[in-house]
Structure 1
């Protein structure tokens, strides 16, 4: 397990540490400090805490008129933690603009499946009858949720997953979540960047206020 340095000492790219492993204890140590792994082909395992961090404050959640209409009429169904491995596969297989390959590597999938089995990593699935058409996964450590990646095979499926997750977290008294980076989808839903200093302060306050045991995901 890595004894991670202060994330505020990250370099200009947000790099905090190099090497180590993806064991459960290592991941817990990283996430509780606001650090996450981001594999890059041809490099040892890299750990980051970016100078700007993507978040969604739930009070700023924006659901467009068209998305509201879709959510009202759709027959898609949402589940939690029913197909974690399949969601990771979906995230790994979707082409990303400007990226060669995927950072959701075989090692990441293996490690996060174990993390899921230990109760720290979670998935949200969107189903069109028996077909998985979208999903997201993330990490719940110490009282805060970190969104890792999401995918969709049909329009609005990943948005429906994210909105459902936010609605659930908000119902449990949570006010925000970490999304690491603000994609176009996340931005349209109200995502924003904050400074690393502000993020780490929010993270610290959240971890002091809440605990892992304070959240039980729906069994639907």
Structure 2
């Protein structure tokens, strides 16, 4: 692994450097400039709050091509019944706060430190990070957030307080953006997103799509 210099915003080339289990580098900081630069390279931070910052570019990569979204009959019925309402960028702070506090299967604590959370809030204020909210009876019951880089959406985390809320929100998002997005980066495998059509592709293929996207911006 490569240790990053806090005074220089740079990363090893993820195409040329395999790292250890997907870890490209460690250290550095969580400045807006570094995080934004990292995501444009296909690298993201993921670490425990009491540890050094770890920067990842796993191989393979878990992604969703919008035209491959899978919607079950039961979910389609829920969407058609208008059980939930959906908004965009209406309450980013509450969405990311709920993501931080959500219990994850087989996980204690949270990977989303206060410092990283504040960095994403600032990225949202600058228009780089987006939130998608799911409401039921005027109560925030689900949502997710991520970074928009051209035609690629880099999903970060989601939460749900009632059954099917986050799934409905994600389907609504994909179906509304499928004509303008080339790819949704889900980073690491989850059964939840696999059931919606997400799948693994090689790091090489992922970076090729990302580089093509960056050239069009």
Give the alignment partner of residue 187 of structure 1, picking from 185, 190, 194.
Answer: 194
Show CA shifts across 1:78-132 (max 9, x none).
Answer: 0000010101111111111222211111111111000100111100000012210
SS in 2 for 1:7: coil
Structure 1 position 76 matched with structure 2 position 84:
yes
Give the alignment partner of residue 35 of structure 1, picking from 40, 43, 68.
Answer: 43
Name the counterpart of 1:208.
215
Q: Is the 8 A contact 1:32 1:142 kept in 2?
A: no
Distance verdict in 2 for CA 1:48–1:148, change over 3 Å: same
Task: State how far apart, in whole Å, the 1-side matches of 2:70 and 2:157 are.
Answer: 20
The number of residue pairs the alignment matches comes to 209
Task: State how far apart, in whole Å, the 1-side matches of 2:77 and 2:150 are.
Answer: 35
Task: State how far apart, in whole Å, the 2-side matches of 1:87 and 1:128 are.
Answer: 15
Structure 1 position 135 matched with structure 2 position 143:
yes
Q: Is the 8 A contact 2:152 2:182 kept in 1?
A: no
- CA deviation after TM superposition for structure 1 residue 147, in Å: 0.5
Structure 1 position 103 matched with structure 2 position 93:
no
Q: Structure 1 length normalisation: TM-score?
A: 0.90
Name the counterpart of 1:215.
none
Name the counterpart of 2:169.
161
Q: Which stretches of structure 1, 4 residues or more, deviate above 4 A after TM superposition?
A: none
Name the counterpart of 1:217.
none
Task: State how far apart, in whole Å, the 2-side matches of 1:90 and 1:66 are.
Answer: 26
Which stretch of structure 1 is more off in the superposition, 130-139 or 7-16? 7-16
Q: Structure 2 length normalisation: TM-score?
A: 0.92
SS in 1 for 2:171: helix
Q: Is the 8 A contact 1:144 1:207 kept in 2?
A: no
Give the alignment partner of residue 62 of structure 1, picking from 55, 61, 70.
Answer: 70
- CA deviation after TM superposition for structure 1 residue 41, in Å: 4.1
- CA-based RMSD of the aligned residues comes to 1.3
SS in 1 for 2:64: strand
Task: State how far apart, in whole Å, the 1-side matches of 2:206 and 2:137 are.
Answer: 39
Show CA shifts across 1:108-160 (max 9, x none).
Answer: 11110001001111000000122100000000124421000101001111011
